[in-house]
Amino acid sequence: MTTSMDRLAAAANGKIIDHIPVFCNLLDQGARELGLSIEDYFSKGEHVAEAQIKMQKKFGHDNVWSLFYVGKEAELFGCKKICYATDGPPNVEDYIIQNYADIECLQVPDDLSAHPKFAETAKCLQILKREVGGKVPICAYLTASMSLPAILMGMENWMELLMIGPVEVRDLLLEKCSDFFRKEIEAYRNAGADILVYADPYGSTDIIPMKLFKDLSLKWMKRDLEPGGLNGVVYYVGGARLNSVADEVIREVGIHAYYPGPLDDVTESMRIINGRALCAGVINDIKLLDWTPGQVREEVRRIVQGGLQVNNKFFFGTVVMPYGIPEENIKAMILAAKEFGRTTDG
C-alpha cells in the first residue's frame, strides 16, 4: 500500500503514485480532538502525538506535526510566560530581551536534547516515530536566525534593531540565534523529524527590502543550514510571499523544497522553481473559516491544477490553520486535493 512517505518521495522526483502529497497543518485542533483545553493539551507530548495521529487517520492527509506552538522556541531560550487562548494558538507573553544589554547576556542553551523544555517535544517525536515513522512524514518547525528575534524581543523591537539599531548588536543577536538554530535542527533530526520547516518571514520581500534580503537573510540562511545540510529542509516564509526570492534561494542556498504563501501565484512559483525543487500550492486557510465546502473544492482545484500545469514536483498545503475551521471544510479540502491531484498520465 502506498504510504504518505512514498507519495512525498515520488513528488520530489516529479512523479505521482496515486495523488500528490496533501499537507494539512492542524495544530491547536488537537485539543478539540482530545476534548482538552488548549493549555492542557500542549502541556504533554503524549497529547500532541496522540491527537496528531488521530487527526491524520481521520482526515487522511500526508503529514503529522511535532510542533506545539512557535513560542516553544522562546521557552527554550528562557521565556517564562505564554499567553494561552481558548480558541487560538498560544503566544509569547514575556520577551526575554528587554534591552540591548540582554542580548549581550543571552545564553544559547548548551544541549537542547537534554533541555527540560524540549522534553515534551522529544516525547512527542518518540511516539510519532514509533507509531507512524517511515510511513507518514513527521514535520518539525524551526525559526530561522533572521526571524527568531521576533519572539525573543517582539516584532517591533526587532524591526527597530534591524532597520536603525547598532549593527554590532544586531549581528551578535543573529549569531546567537544562528548558533541556537544549528543545535535545534540537530536535536530535531536526532529525535526523528523528517521534514524540517525552515521558517523565515524575514526571508520574504513582503517584510524586508530586497537589498536586506540579499545582504542579510541569505547570509544567515547559509550559516544556519551549513553544518546539518539541506536534507528534509523546506523553505517557508511564514505565510508571506515567496516568489520574488525563490530563485535566489535555490541558486545561493540550494534548498530542495519551497512553501509559498497563499497570496503567491502558484503557477508562477512553479515556473520560477522550474523543476529544480519541490514546491507547494498553498491555500489561504483563513478563508476556510467562511467558505462553503463547494467553494473550498473550487479553490483547491484552482491551486492544484495551477501547480500541476507546470510539472509534478508539487504538493498541496495549508498555512497555520485557524482553530475555528469547520471539519467539513477540512474534509472537503483534503478530498479535493486528492481528487484534482491525481496523475493524468499513468
Q: Which residues bind another protein (CB under 8 A)?
A: 83, 85, 87-89, 91-93, 154-156, 159-160, 162-164, 205-209, 212, 239, 262-263, 284, 286-287, 289-290, 322-324
Query: Of residues 72-101, which lie at the interface with ligand B12 (CB under 6 A)?
Result: 89, 91-92
276 or 302: CB nearest another protein: 302
147 binds, among ligand B12, another protein, none (CB under 5 to 8 A by kind): ligand B12
Kindly list the strands in the beta sheet with 257-259, ordered across the sheet, starting from the edge strand earlier in the chain: 64-65, 138-143, 195-199, 233-236, 257-259, 278-282, 314-317
133 or 154: CB nearest another protein: 154
Residue 1 CB, nearest approach to ligand B12 (Å) = 32
How many helical (H) and strand (E) elements, i.e. helices and strands, does the chain have? 16, 9
Give the C-alpha distances (Å, rounded to integers) separating 211 from 34, 204, 205, 215.
47, 11, 9, 6
Stretch that binds ligand B12, among 115-123, 232-240, 267-275, 331-339 (CB under 6 A): 232-240
Residue 41 CB, nearest approach to ligand B12 (Å) = 12
Q: What distance lies between CA 338 and its chain's CA centroid? A: 21
1 or 164: CB nearest another protein: 164
288 or 336: CB nearest ligand B12: 288
Stretch that binds ligand B12, among 66-74, 106-114, 175-183, 187-195 (CB under 6 A): 66-74
Among 46, 102, 131, 206, binds ligand B12 (CB under 6 A): 206
How far apart (Å, rounded) are the C-alpha atoms in residues 189 and 129? 12
227 or 324: CB nearest another protein: 324
Q: Which of 179, 238, 182 is nearest to 206 (CA)?
A: 238
Residue 230 CB, nearest approach to ligand B12 (Å) = 20
287 binds, among ligand B12, another protein, none (CB under 5 to 8 A by kind): another protein
CA-atom Rg of the chain in angstroms? 19
Is the sign of the CA dihedral 28, 83, 87, 338 positive or negative?
A: negative
Residue type, 337: A
Q: Are strands 314-317 and 195-199 parallel, antiparallel or unpaired?
A: unpaired
Give the C-alpha distances (Å, rounded to integers) separating 287 from 242, 262, 319, 322, 326.
20, 10, 11, 10, 11
Type and span of the H or E element at 83: strand 82-83
| Cβ-Cβ contacts under 8 Å for 248 (sequence gap 6 or more) | 213, 214, 218
User: Ramachandran region of residue 72, left (φ > 0), alpha (ψ -120 to 50) or beta?
Assistant: alpha
93 binds, among another protein, ligand B12, none (CB under 5 to 8 A by kind): another protein
Among 238, 281, 317, 341, binds ligand B12 (CB under 6 A): 238
Among 145, 147, 178, 205, binds ligand B12 (CB under 6 A): 147
27 binds, among ligand B12, another protein, none (CB under 5 to 8 A by kind): ligand B12
19 or 299: CB nearest ligand B12: 299
Residue 119 has phi, psi (to 5 degrees) of: -55, -45
Residue 32 CB, nearest approach to ligand B12 (Å) = 15
196 or 246: CB nearest another protein: 246
71 binds, among another protein, ligand B12, none (CB under 5 to 8 A by kind): ligand B12
Q: Which of 223, 230, 187 is nearest to 72 (CA)?
A: 187
SS3 295: helix
Beta strands in 200-242 (DSSP E): 233-236
241 or 313: CB nearest another protein: 241
**Residue 319 engages ligand B12 in binding (rule: CB under 6 A):** yes
What residues line the site for ligand B12 (CB under 6 A)? 27, 69-71, 89, 91-92, 143, 147, 150-151, 155, 199, 201, 206, 238-240, 319-320, 322
